[in-house]
Amino acid sequence: MKKLNRSNPSLDENYRIKNIATMTIDLRSDTVTKPTQGMLDAIMTAQTGDDVYKEDPSVNELERRFAETFDMETALFFPTGSMSNQAAIKLHTQPGDQLICDKWAHVYNYEAGGAAFNSGVTCNLIDGERGMITAKAIEAGISPISNYHTANTTLVCLENTTNKGGGACYDFNEFKKVRQVCDDYGLGLHLDGARLMNAIVAKNEDPKDYGKTFDSISICLSKGLGTPMGTILLGTNDLMKRSIRIRKILGGAMRQIGLMAAAGLYALDHQVDRLALDHEKAKEIARTLEGVSFVKKVEPTETNIVIFNVVDELSKDKFVNDMLLKHIKISDMGQGKLRMVTHLDYSDAMHEIVLEAINNYQF
Ligand SMILES: *Cc1c(COP(=O)(O)O)cnc(C)c1O
């Protein structure tokens, strides 16, 4: 990987002095980023065409590049990650089927019941570790084909990195074991890789290994990669045969969307390696939180998501509000968990302010 330098500290210092009074530091999510100047230039000069006719050269190029990077046969551009995941579930299942996922999975918790609504599928939720589930637990969760009382298990959905699990990354060996279980039982294997690039950078993995292991992979461009919108769904030719039709049914067929595909191409070329900087900052935040008395627990921080609990004597609403008074936005994940996510628009100067705010916090 390329050696990365943080931004020029003297420029950063100017920024800090000029903007400290008005600046909001938004750590709620890595979706809050705005396109960089380079990305805006790429958008403004993009070649476009009608993507419904498959005539948008920028979309075609983006799909080709992702398919090549992951060594998968087919790629299709979607407006959102939820739509891409939902299309994948539809491609893999029949109404009445069951999919297996972790209890915190985005496909179950944050897609508005889409698996039931779009595909008529139920979810068998596994009680995993930080959003990750083992091949063993999956195998135990498969309903026996001979038992016609139970829903037929046809799909496993994994998430990497995990969202509610705090940006945790799987050990690749576990993926191989899950693949084996899916082969043994004839199940499809889908990866919700909304933040897959974060995992690949953090663990220095080869994207092609993912292509070899999963039947379908969904990758968001609008999270750490910093584009305004868009998600890529990758899959085998056989699985993806109906993907354009399903995208159309879900309302996701777009026209001159090469403008956004150009942003995706720019991100792929310029904004992947830098994810390591986000990870570094997240780890520094986690270490700082571990060192202060008002924090009860910090989840292990492997990528750009920090999840922590404050002590019982401090109400988490009060802490969130006190941070807001310092123009620092963080999010409440429920069940006592608070979340901070680092990203492209979180500068070194902002980082210093946040570390200071944590270290100096009194309650
Ligand atoms: C953000 C996210 C998605 C997709 O979200 P959209 O807002 O629909 O693009 C899917 N899975 C995970 C784990 C996510 O974090």
DSSP code string of 20-67 = TTT--EE-S-TT-----HHHHHHHHT-----GGGT--HHHHHHHHHHH
Q: Residue 161, preceding bond cis, omega within 30 degrees?
A: yes
Q: What is the number of domains present in the chain? A: 2
- For residue 292, the CA-to-ligand 1 centroid distance in Å is 32
Same domain membership, residue 152 and residue 13 = no
pLDDT digits over 44-98, tens only? 999 999 999 999 999 999 999 999 999 999 999 999 999 999 999 999 999 999 9
Q: What is the CATH number of the domain that holds 326?
A: 3.90.1150.10
Whether residue 4 is contained in a domain is answered as no
Categorize the per-residue pLDDT at 12 as very low, low, confident or very high, splitting at 50, 70 and 90.
Answer: low
Tokens at residue 282, please? 């997240």
Among 270, 299, 330, the domain boundary falls at 270
Q: Across residues 178-206, what is the average pLDDT? A: 98
Q: Considering 237, 270, 303, which residue would you say is the last residue of a domain?
A: 270
Last residue of a domain, one of 252, 270, 288: 270
8 CA → ligand 1 middle, Å: 32
* Helix, strand, coil percent values for the chain (each to nearest 5): 45, 15, 40
Residue 1 lies in a domain: no
The CATH number of whichever domain residue 93 belongs to comes to: 3.40.640.10
Structural domain contains residue 206: yes
Same-domain check for residues 89 and 119: yes
* The pLDDT value given to residue 22: 62
Find the length of the chain: 363
> Of 336, 346, 350, 341, whose CA–CA distance to 301 is shortest?
341
Which residue shows structure tokens 């941070």?
Answer: 323
Which residue, 58, 2, 37, 51, is CA-closest to 264?
58
Q: Is the pLDDT of residue 210 over 60?
A: yes
288 within domain boundaries = yes
Q: 219: CA distance to ligand 1 center in Å?
A: 9
125: which strand partners? 101
Percentage of the chain with pLDDT > 70?
94
> Which tokens hold the place of 138?
């999956």
- Copy the structure tokens of residue 128: 């995993």
C-beta of residue 240 within 8 angstroms of C-beta of residue 263: no
Shared-domain flag, residues 195 and 140: yes
Alpha-carbon gap, residue 154 to 97, rounded angstroms: 6
Tokens linked to 153:
């298990």
Select from 106, 111, 198 the residue to mutate for testing ligand 1; criterion: most ligand atoms less than 8 Å from CB. Answer: 106
Please check whether residues 118 and 218 belong to one and the same domain: yes
Residues 27 and 45 in one domain: no
**How many Å lie between the centroid of ligand 1 and the Cα of residue 357?**
29
Q: Are residues 288 and 345 in the same domain?
A: yes
Mean pLDDT rounded to a whole number for the chain: 94
End-to-end CA distance of the chain: 42
Domain membership of residue 284 as a residue range? 9-35+273-359
DSSP β-ladder status, 188-193 and 216-220 = parallel
SS3 at position 238: helix
Where does residue 8 rank: exposed (0-12), middle (13-18), buried (19+ CB within 10 A)? Answer: exposed
CA dist., res. 231 & res. 131, Å (int) = 21
- Ligand 1 pocket by Cβ (under 6 Å): 80-82, 85, 106, 159, 163, 192, 194, 220, 222-223, 231
pLDDT interval class at 8 (50, 70, 90):
low
Average pLDDT over residues 243-266: 98
Render pLDDT for 138-157 as a digit per residue (tens, 0 to 9): 999 999 888 889 999 999 99
pLDDT at 23: 81
| Same-domain pairing of 192 and 287 | no
pLDDT of residue 147: 87
- The reply to whether 101 and 18 lie within a common domain is no
CA distance 288 to 300: 13
Helix axes 348-359, 275-290, angle to 10 degrees: 10
- Tell me, what amino acid is at 20? I
Question: Best of 110, 159, 169, 305 to mutate for ligand 1, by most ligand atoms within 8 A of CB?
Answer: 110
Asked if 261 and 288 sit in the same domain, the reply is: no
